[in-house]
Amino acid sequence: MRIATWNVNSVNARLETVRRWFEQEQPDVACLQELKCVDEKFPAEPFERLGYNIAVHGQKTYNGVAILSKTPLEDVRRGLPGDDGDDHARYLEAVVSGPTPVRVASIYLPNGNPIGTEKFAYKLNWLKRLNAHARQLLALEEPLAMVGDYNVIPEPRDAEYPAHWTRDALFQTESREAFRALKWLGLTDAFMQADGSPGAYTFWDYQAGSWQRNDGIRIDHALLSPQAADRLRGVAIHRDVRSWEKPSDHVPLVVELEL
């Protein structure tokens, strides 16, 4: 099973780019983030033609997450537990059916900038809620993949120029400690387990020639439960997609599990 995660930065604005990649790669499951549309405006038809079942948790103009699967989706959960007043569409979870079902979560973690504001506090609180929910999911002892745009640079090695990010919420000690605490629950960073090579980035800003200078960072992650990590056979970052016409500032990350 090939599970992809990709922050598409507006699925409708970049539909041709996204569709081209899906037609070329045909992942079994794909988790998309930053849709920037409500459920009804998600362009389902092109993906349904490719054989995908679709679950969407959208929001007008901002946020929005989706899961697309070649097999039916069950037990769909929209929204991260722990705050009934949180109306941001940042979390979607479902069980991908099959001989060995896999629970998958599509995650769009808050950016948190600027530091010292309620946005940063919201990011840290969201991470606490994610930690609490991950504990509950791990207790199920089933294959689990929590993938998405975590908006966290885990280590200096995950940025081409770490000094550029010292005042950014993505690289603050609190953000990195919270991400580390998720892994300490028993989750495996799939890329670090299967590859771990330096310079493997998933995001390049549109500004200041970041792509041309390779001023990249690794902020899109796939965290696996022990039952999924045991089945990990490879990870690929589709860097070339960043050079396509009208690209997202993120590129797809694909995890392969042997099921």
Catalytic positions: 108, 149
Task: Tell me the C-alpha distance between 145 and 190, whole Å.
Answer: 9
Task: Tell me the C-alpha distance between 192 and 237, whole Å.
Answer: 12
Centre a 10 Å sphere on the Cβ of residue 47 and count the other Cβ atoms it contains: 21
Residue 108 three-state SS? strand
Task: Tell me the C-alpha distance between 223 and 161, whole Å.
Answer: 24
Residue 20 three-state SS? helix
Q: DSSP string covering 205-248, please?
A: -SSTTTTTTT-EE--EEEEE-HHHHTTEEEEEE-GGGGGSSS--
Task: Tell me the C-alpha distance between 250 and 214, whole Å.
Answer: 13
Residue 254 three-state SS? strand
Task: Tell me the C-alpha distance between 38 and 216, whole Å.
Answer: 30
The torsion angles phi and psi of 63, rounded to 5 degrees, stand at 55, -145
Place of tokens 């604005």: 13
**Helix 173-184 × helix 118-138 angle, to 10°:** 10
Place of tokens 């537990």: 81
Task: Tell me the C-alpha distance between 109 and 91, whole Å.
Answer: 8
